[in-house]
Structure 1
């Protein structure tokens, strides 16, 4: 039931954002007040048709939710939780994702990775005390997990429009659909509401702690929203190709560079 509730809440939000974009006549062009004058700002990123809506949602998430809730909570958790407890709780939260990872690997015909995920879940759930310890890593069994969103991507389904989920951060239509399907796998589908909230909280706190060192780069970027959006799509591409994304050459940019080099040669 908790999976269905979460899905419908997030689905309703996505539909709401899409409807706002459809009804708005300023989805591509917006006027901003800069030094008392109106300045026209164009939003023409094909990956982000909801940019006019996503930007204020990102400002709300970063300037308020993260600043006053997520970051302080993560710092308190890291400071006062003993390292071995943190590691154990994080391992347990990740271990619950292994059955989904097994199926998602099989759907991509990654039989070797599926076997590793099966071994990890079996060993860590028994000898590892429900995943608190990670003895599977001693056998060199990777902890990389596959999500259903990656399955969709491997079959040619695009990311879809970029989304900013208020209070949660960057996402996409494909990732939201993938998360919902992952939630239907055992044991996620039978976990009660509060244990699932605890699991998601642990994952969120650790994720926020992991980006603490990169926070300054974001603060110093000329456009934090654009920076986080590009980083999101690069990360999705990196995961889709298991760390070996294809090199895409921009022919127009290459032509400009060649022309510039020719001028220097002359």
Structure 2
């Protein structure tokens, strides 16, 4: 393995250790009060990370870089890059569909990867969707949910964004077996940068919603949690008394 292997294992080990510590911290309060959202036990920490992301890192780095990316790379090129990154995640979806016992999703995911990697020229063109093979995005966070593991607490990650304890752990585990982990250092850095830029470009459509929101942090938290519920239940989440899908409609991409 390249030198990145050491970096990857160290970084994942640190993040996994942090996740374990946060799980402990999240379960520490013995007497929760009505002011504490049971889904967001570390809200103080999360809001501080939100302020760092939203007020510092995004306006100083990510948004300007994304604007420059959209000006330099034409729309067709950006779409091709997004398709390529999506195709590279198909093996992860296949593994997790198998772990969740979803043979139909396994077949569709395998078919998408085969079609887009060949006819679609390594995934630059999403031919599979055009012939009716819609993406079935599965990850280990969803797998853990299917296995009965709870969310833990909502978690705002610096320089990354919303997640949960369970989803963060799932992302780390996905990284261990993903073929993308075999990339060398320059390719891996390039992949992460391009993924960040494509996701930030998609998020630009939500900027006006954040600006109009009385509490942008709460908006993002609700949108993320509802979107994840939607993904876990394959678009058919159970009815909840306090469920408001107005957040979800704007968050789905």
Shorter-chain TM band = 0.7 to 0.9
Q: TM-score, normalised by structure 2?
A: 0.84
- Equivalent position SS for 2:122: coil
- Equivalent position SS for 1:170: strand
Q: Which one of the candidate residues 49, 56, 61 is aligned to 1:69? A: 61
**Larger relative contact order, structure 1 or 2 (CA cutoff 8 Å, min sep 6):** 2
Q: TM-score, normalised by structure 1?
A: 0.80
C-alpha displacement at 1:190, in angstroms?
1.3
Question: Larger deviation: 81-90 or 3-12?
Answer: 3-12
Q: Which one of the candidate residues 11, 14, 19 is aligned to 2:16? A: 11
Structure-2 change in CA distance of 1:49 and 1:186 (3 Å): closer
Larger Rg: 1
C-alpha displacement at 1:237, in angstroms?
0.5
Q: What is the match of residue 38 of structure 1?
A: none
Correspondence 1:29-44 to 2 at 5 A: 43-44=35-36
C-alpha displacement at 1:20, in angstroms?
7.5
C-alpha displacement at 1:79, in angstroms?
2.0
Q: What is the match of residue 101 of structure 1?
A: 93
Q: What is the match of residue 78 of structure 1?
A: 70
Q: What is the match of residue 237 of structure 1?
A: 229
For each residue in 1:69-105, what CA deviation from the matched residue of structure 2 results, as whole angstroms up to 9, or x when unmatched? 1111111111220122211111111111111111111
C-alpha displacement at 1:111, in angstroms?
0.8
How many residues align structurally?
A: 236
Structure-2 change in CA distance of 1:6 and 1:123 (3 Å): farther
Q: What is the match of residue 146 of structure 1?
A: 138
Q: Tell me, in whole angstroms, the C-alpha distance in 2 between the residues paired with 1:86 and 1:103.
A: 27
Q: Which runs of 4+ in 1 moved over 4 A?
A: 15-24
Tell me if the contact between 1:3 and 1:184 (Cα under 8 Å) persists in the aligned partners.
Answer: no
Q: What is the match of residue 129 of structure 2?
A: 137
Aligned-residue Cα RMSD (Å) equals: 2.4
Unmatched runs of 5 consecutive residues or more in structure 1: 30-41, 251-266
Tell me if the contact between 1:21 and 1:53 (Cα under 8 Å) persists in the aligned partners.
Answer: no
Tell me if the contact between 1:17 and 1:53 (Cα under 8 Å) persists in the aligned partners.
Answer: no
Q: Tell me, in whole angstroms, the C-alpha distance in 2 between the residues paired with 1:232 and 1:11.
A: 21
Structure with the higher strand share, 1 or 2:
1
Q: Tell me, in whole angstroms, the C-alpha distance in 1 between the residues paired with 2:9 and 2:105.
A: 29
Unmatched runs of 5 consecutive residues or more in structure 2: 243-253
Structure-2 change in CA distance of 1:19 and 1:246 (3 Å): closer
